[in-house]
C-alpha cells in the first residue's frame, strides 16, 4: 500500500471511535487466513480478537468461502418483502432449533445494533397491543453495551456511553448497578434488591429488562453469576416485564455453552444474536421472540411488526451463516472452548503478578487482564504488533477472544507474548 493511500485513509476515512484531528495509526492488512493476519509490510500477526468476537472458525475458511460462491451463482440479493428463499428458511430453522425453548419467531436484521432496536420495538409494540402504551422504557444494567445506534446507545452504560453528551437526543432509560458476584464466585442474593425495587416502583413504565447474559462485553468484560440471571428472570415474571437477552457477543459457544442463557437454564422473551452468526464473514443479526409475543404484536393497532430493512435476510449472509452454524455443530466446539479456557487461564496466569494488574479472569474462549489504570493505546498497540500479535485493548482491559480453531501452541504464544509486552509496558 502506498504512502498516498495511507495518507488518504488518515485524511478521509473514519475508523471506529477515532478522531479526525489526531487519528491513531492504522495497520494495512493484505490478507487473513486461519488465525493469522498478514500485514502489508510482510508482518504476520496471531489474531487474539477474532475480529470482535466474530471469526470463530478463523479467516478464509474453505467451507465458508464455498457457501458464498455457491450462493452468488444463485443470487446475491433479493428483496425480502413478498419474497422468500431457502437460505433464510434454513437459517431460521437452525435458530429456532438451537436457541433456548420458546423462541420460535425469527426477525433477521442487518447488524447487532439493529437487532437491539428491533428488540426494543417488539417490547414496546407488545405492551401497546395489550393496552399498556405507558410501558415505553427499558431497564438496563450499568457497564452494559448494546450497540451504537441511538436506541441501542440509550441502553449502554450511561458513563462510558457518554449519555451526558447526547442528553435530549437519546431516550432516558432506567439503570441498575451491574451484578458484582463473579461467575465462579459466591452468590450474593441482595444484588437483586435494586432491580426488584426499580421494577416494583416503575414496572408500569417498563416494557422490558435488557441485559447481556453472563458476560458484559464491551462495557467491562465482566463475568457474573448465573443466579443473578435466574433472579432477573423470576423478577421479570413477577412484575410482568419482558426479558431481552442480548447474546450478540456470547452466542454460538463463546462462553462454553451454545448460548450464555443456558448457564442459568432460562429462556428470555426476546433474544438478540449477531457477531459470530456468519463466522465473521459479513454483517447479519437476528432477533427472536415467542409465539405469544409475536401474535400479540400482530393483533395490535399496527397489525404488523413495524420494521423491514432493505437488505433484510440477504441471501449471501444467510448462506454463510448456515455454513458457519453447521461447521460449528459438526465440530467438537464445546470441548474446544473448554480447552481454550484452560489454555488461556494457564497462559495468562503470569500476568497476575505484574505490578499494575488488578485481575486476570477467563471464561470459555475469553481471557481478560484488567489493569489498575487505562492503557495508552498509542504506545501499547504498536508494541503488540511489533511482537506479532493482534489485540485491541480498551480502557483498563487487555483481553482476548481468539478464533475457536486456535491450537494450544498458538494460545501459548499469544498469551506469553501478551504477558511479556504488558510487563515491559507496565515497567
Residue numbers at the binding site for ligand PLP (CB under 6 A)? 111-113, 116, 145-147, 212, 217-218, 246, 248-249, 274-275
Angle, vertex CA 219, rays to CA 215 and CA 225, nearest 5: 30
Contact (CB, 8 A) for 94 and 334? no
CB of 231 to ligand PLP, least distance (A): 20
Question: CA-to-CA distance for 339 and 335, rounded, in angstroms?
Answer: 6
Q: Considering 105, 121, 257, 275, which one is annotated as catalytic?
A: 275
Question: Rg of the chain's alpha carbons, rounded to an integer?
Answer: 22
Residues annotated in a binding site: 52, 112-113, 145, 246, 275, 308-310, 392
Q: Which is nearer to ligand PLP, 191 or 246 (CB)?
A: 246
Known binding-site residues for pyridoxal 5'-phosphate equal: 112-113, 246, 309-310
* Grid-cell match 432509560, residue found: 173
CA–CA distance, 88 with 58 (Å, rounded to integer):
24
Q: Which three cell numbers stand for residue 85?
A: 428463499
Distances (CA, A) of 184 to 190, 196, 266, 313, 419: 17, 24, 18, 38, 23
Q: Minimal CB distance to ligand PLP: which residue?
A: 112
Who contacts 246 (Cβ-Cβ below 8 Å, separation ≥6)? 116, 119, 144, 146, 210, 211, 212, 213, 272
Active site residue 17: yes
- Measured from the CB atom, the residue of 263 and 275 that comes closer to ligand PLP is 275
Closest approach of ligand PLP to the CB of residue 145, in Å: 5
Q: Which of 47, 110, 157, 246 is catalytic?
A: 246
Phi then psi for residue 252, to 5 deg, are 65, 45
- Return the H-helix or E-strand segment holding 309: none
Residue ranges at the known binding site for substrate: 52, 145, 275, 308, 392
- Residue placing its CB nearer to ligand PLP in the complex, 175 or 239: 175
Q: Which is nearer to ligand PLP, 181 or 276 (CB)?
A: 276
Q: CB-wise, 53 or 59, nearer to ligand PLP?
A: 53
d(CA 417, CA 282): 30
* CB closer to ligand PLP, 45 vs 114: 114
Q: State in angstroms the smallest separation of the CB of 277 from ligand PLP.
A: 10
Q: How far is the CB of 365 from ligand PLP (least distance, A)?
A: 15
Q: Which of 52, 208, 188, 64 is nearest to 128 (CA)?
A: 208
Asked if residue 270 lies in contact with residue 245, where contact means CB atoms within 8 angstroms, the answer is: yes
Q: Of 59, 145, 224, 399, which one is the catalytic site residue?
A: 145
Give, in order, the Cα–Cα distances in Å from 15 to each of 37, 231, 341: 18, 39, 31
CB of 109 to ligand PLP, least distance (A): 9
- As measured in angstroms, the least distance from the Cβ of 53 to ligand PLP is 7
Q: Kindly list the catalytic residues.
A: 17, 145, 246, 275
Amino acid at each position: 500500500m502506498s504512502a498516498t493511500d495511507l495518507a488518504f485513509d488518515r485524511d478521509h476515512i473514519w475508523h471506529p471511535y477515532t478522531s479526525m484531528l489526531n487519528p491513531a495509526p492504522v495497520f494495512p492488512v493484505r490478507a487473513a487466513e486461519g488465525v493469522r493476519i498478514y500485514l502489508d509490510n510482510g508482518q504476520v500477526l496471531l489474531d487474539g480478537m477474532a475480529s470482535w468476537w466474530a471469526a470463530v472458525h478463523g479467516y478464509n475458511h474453505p467451507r465458508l468461502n464455498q457457501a458464498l460462491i455457491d450462493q452468488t451463482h444463485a443470487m446475491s440479493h433479493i428483496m425480502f418483502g413478498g419474497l422468500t428463499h431457502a437460505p433464510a428458511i434454513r437459517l431460521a430453522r437452525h435458530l429456532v432449533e438451537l436457541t433456548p425453548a420458546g423462541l420460535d419467531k425469527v426477525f433477521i436484521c442487518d447488524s447487532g445494533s439493529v437487532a437491539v432496536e428491533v428488540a426494543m420495538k417488539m417490547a414496546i409494540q407488545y405492551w401497546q397491543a395489550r393496552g399498556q402504551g405507558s410501558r415505553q422504557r427499558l431497564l438496563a444494567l450499568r457497564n452494559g453495551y448494546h450497540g451504537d445506534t441511538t436506541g441501542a446507545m440509550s441502553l449502554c452504560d450511561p458513563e462510558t456511553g457518554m449519555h451526558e453528551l447526547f442528553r435530549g437526543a437519546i431516550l432516558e432509560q432506567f439503570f441498575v448497578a451491574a451484578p458484582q458476584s463473579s461467575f465462579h464466585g459466591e452468590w450474593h442474593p441482595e444484588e437483586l434488591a435494586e432491580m426488584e425495587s426499580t421494577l416494583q416502583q416503575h414496572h408500569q413504565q417498563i416494557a422490558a429488562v435488557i441485559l447481556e447474559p453472563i458476560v458484559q462485553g464491551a462495557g467491562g468484560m465482566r463475568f457474573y453469576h448465573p443466579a443473578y440471571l435466574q433472579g432477573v428472570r423470576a423478577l421479570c415474571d413477577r412484575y410482568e416485564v419482558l426479558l431481552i437477552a442480548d447474546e450478540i457477543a456470547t452466542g454460538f459457544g463463546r462462553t462454553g455453552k451454545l448460548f450464555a442463557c443456558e448457564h442459568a437454564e432460562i429462556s428470555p422473551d426476546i433474544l438478540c444474536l449477531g457477531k459470530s452468526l456468519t463466522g465473521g464473514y459479513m454483517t447479519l443479526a437476528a432477533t427472536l421472540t415467542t409465539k405469544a409475543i409475536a401474535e400479540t404484536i400482530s393483533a395490535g393497532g399496527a397489525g404488523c411488526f413495524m420494521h423491514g430493512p432493505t437488505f433484510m435476510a440477504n441471501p449471501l449472509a444467510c448462506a454463510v451463516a448456515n455454513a458457519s452454524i453447521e461447521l460449528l455443530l459438526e465440530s467438537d466446539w464445546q470441548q474446544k472452548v473448554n480447552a481454550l479456557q484452560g489454555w488461556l487461564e494457564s497462559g495468562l496466569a503470569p500476568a497476575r503478578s505484574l505490578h499494575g494488574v488488578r485481575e486476570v479472569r477467563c471464561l470459555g474462549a475469553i481471557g481478560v487482564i484488567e489493569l489498575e489504570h487505562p492503557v495508552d493505546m498509542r504506545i501499547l498497540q504498536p508494541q503488540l504488533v511489533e511482537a506479532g500479535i493482534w489485540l485491541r485493548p480498551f480502557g483498563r482491559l487487555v483481553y482476548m477472544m481468539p478464533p475457536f480453531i486456535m491450537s494450544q501452541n498458538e494460545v501459548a504464544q499469544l498469551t506469553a507474548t501478551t504477558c511479556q509486552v504488558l510487563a515491559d509496558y507496565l515497567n
